[in-house]
């Protein structure tokens, strides 16, 4: 290579390296805003009247909220789903509370469904099964892939001005595939 060509090649390489250094923070910023899920979570929602739930019958509800990323804000989007299970009859409303679970499977994040066969939950992806109290359910010899029980959400009965009890849930998301429950940042 001639000396002149070599110098041109070196100056181009240096120019490319400097350009890459200058562009890197911008690329990192764009990548982080595109790849991060900044939709609303850790949000309290009033879901349903307590008296409209039947004891021992799970019902699924959608959680609505604002979904946003670096460039868009979309109001009133479904940001999650919860299963509510009212405790069996025979106790006072205070004791006959409601248990709330996120519908996201703790194995790999599919949507857990109510079993058509019995009082349990099942995940359609890898057949993880759960009791109505959220604990893993062993079904025969079939392996239950879930690393933990269904993720329970903070849930409270709140009286309105008319004296009706409402179920309020704090919606959260959790890291999948871990044996312990870790809230997603
Ligand atoms: S994602 Fe639910 S069992 Fe795998």
Write the pLDDT tens digit of every residue in 3-31.
677 777 777 776 666 565 556 555 554 44
CA of 112 to the centre of ligand 1 (A): 8
Could you give the dihedral angle defined by the CA atoms of residues 136, 137, 139 and 142, in that order, rounded to the nearest 10 degrees?
0
Residue with tokens 């110098």: 7
Q: Which atom of ligand 1 is nearest to the CA of 145?
A: 3
Over the stretch 76-128, which tens digit does the pLDDT of each residue have?
899 999 999 998 776 555 556 899 999 999 999 999 999 998 899 999 999 99
Q: Where are the domains of the chain?
A: 1-35, 43-171
Q: What's the CA gap between 159 and 163, in Å, rounded?
A: 5
Distance 108 CA to ligand 1 centre (A): 5
Take residue 106 and report the two structure tokens written for it: 């703790």
Residue nearest to atom 4 of ligand 1 (CA): 126
**Which CATH fold topology does 43-171 show?**
Rieske Iron-sulfur Protein (2.102.10)
Taking the CA atoms of the chain, what radius of gyration do you get in angstroms? 25
Q: State pTM to two decimals.
A: 0.76
The best mutation among 83, 104, 105 to test binding of ligand 1, ranked by most ligand atoms within 8 Å of the C-beta, falls on: 105
Nearest one of 114, 109, 107, 62 to 85, comparing CA atoms? 114
């Amino acid at each position: 290579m001639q000396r002149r060509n070599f110098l041109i090649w070196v100056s181009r390489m240096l120019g490319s390296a400097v350009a890459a250094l200058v562009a890197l923070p911008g690329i990192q910023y764009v990548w982080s805003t595109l790849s991060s899920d900044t939709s609303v979570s850790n949000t309290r929602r009033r879901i349903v009247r307590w008296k409209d739930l039947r004891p021992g019958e799970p019902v699924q509800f959608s959680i609505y909220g604002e979904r946003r990323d670096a460039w868009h804000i979309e109001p009133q989007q479904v940001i999650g789903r919860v299963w509510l299970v009212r405790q069996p009859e025979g106790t006072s409303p205070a004791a006959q509370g409601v248990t709330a679970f996120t519908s996201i499977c703790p194995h790999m994040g599919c949507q857990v469904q109510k079993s058509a066969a019995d009082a349990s939950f099942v995940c359609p992806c890898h057949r993880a099964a759960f009791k109505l109290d959220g604990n893993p359910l062993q079904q025969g010899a079939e392996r239950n892939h879930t690393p933990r029980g269904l993720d329970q959400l903070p849930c409270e009965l709140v009286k309105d001005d008319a004296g009706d009890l409402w179920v309020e849930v704090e919606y959260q998301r959790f890291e999948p595939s871990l044996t312990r429950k870790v809230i997603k940042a």
